[in-house]
Amino acid sequence: MASPFLNYISEQMRLKRYAKRTIQSYVYWIKAYINFNGHRHPISCHDREVEQFLSYLTNKLDVAANTQGIALNALVFLYKAILLKPLTLELNFNKSKQHTKLPVVLTQAEVTTLLTKVVSRYVLPCQLMYGSGLRLMEVVRLRIQDIDFDFHAIQIWQGKGGKNRRVTLAKELCESLKVQISMVKSMYQQDQLTPDYKGVWLPFALARKYPSASNDVQWHYLFPSNRLSKDPETDFVRRHHIDETSLRKAVKLAAKNGGIDKNVTCHTLRHSFATHLLQRGADIRTVQEQLGHTDIRTTQIYTHVIEHGANGVRSPLSDLF
């Protein structure tokens, strides 16, 4: 059972409109910090204990730099917004120097195999992750109105880092998407017959700005859940999007059944999208825009994937044959 203190932190973050996953992540690291300090209340700790905890994450747990950064952000929030005792800007701890690994990339033949092995319900989401370079949460959060058939584009709202972008839509998926939208509209008509149905969930600002939008089918999720559920914040009956965990498992299973001997995840499809675009001669700036990267150095990791393989340096062994 969660402590009253952690419940209070969760509630304060909800009031400040933090995303659900951010709340879960921050509470996780704050709890880990409390456990590390022998269950002492954080009010009795400060800079020194935070430094020791962050160094412990690197020295003992060998966490990635991003993971250590999330833990630091959680503790900065704790001391600034909850305890009103901000940490110093000059914390002295052992920063993680774990290098980013090269992404796992599938060949086009492997992508084809994967898509043929995915359970039918998840084929279209997987095709969008590979065909448009979408992240897992970007694809499950798509709304009907985000699909632009006229210009063969997809509008991504509030992606990673709160950024919006437009990405390419493969023309070959248009008919499948129209069938999917027709199915969603039929489901929507059925939901209207449920007396306590309150429409789809909308972010707080949009819900205030467009009070009737929650019952507009265009705002409904492109990939809805099979059943209605209660919104945990309001107890309203709604239809949420498909569970991202189920999609993850479906991709893992498809890779296994397809005999693909690589560590395949949903993000592998996005990595493959970027790598294959570059292999076809796409400009790196174009790929950067499609992926929504702020820094082009993030995109350049895919050039390393290409250059470290047969498309880059020629092996001297090849001259012996």
Q: Which of 20, 48, 80, 160 is catalytic?
A: 160
What angle do the packed helices 123-132 and 108-117 form, to 10 degrees? 160
Residues 298, 304, 306, 309: is their CA dihedral positive or negative? negative
Q: Is 101 a catalytic residue?
A: no
What angle do the packed helices 4-15 and 20-36 form, to 10 degrees? 150
Q: Is 302 a catalytic residue?
A: yes
- Strands 229-230 and 153-156 turn out to be unpaired
Q: Is 141 a catalytic residue?
A: no
DSSP, res 217: G
Q: Which of 141, 198, 239, 293 is catalytic?
A: 293
Name the amino acid, one letter, at 320.
Answer: L
Cα pseudo-dihedral 19, 206, 230, 218, rounded to 10: -120
Q: Is 304 a catalytic residue?
A: no
| SS3 call for 155 | strand
Q: Is 135 a catalytic residue?
A: yes
Q: Which of 241, 270, 271, 276 is catalytic?
A: 270
What angle do the packed helices 244-257 and 266-279 form, to 10 degrees? 70
Q: Is 143 a catalytic residue?
A: no
Q: Which of 135, 143, 239, 241 is catalytic?
A: 135
Q: Which of 122, 197, 221, 302 is catalytic?
A: 302
Q: What tokens appear for 251 in the block?
A: 């991709």
Instruction: Supply the residues annotated as catalytic.
Output: 135, 160, 267, 270, 293, 302
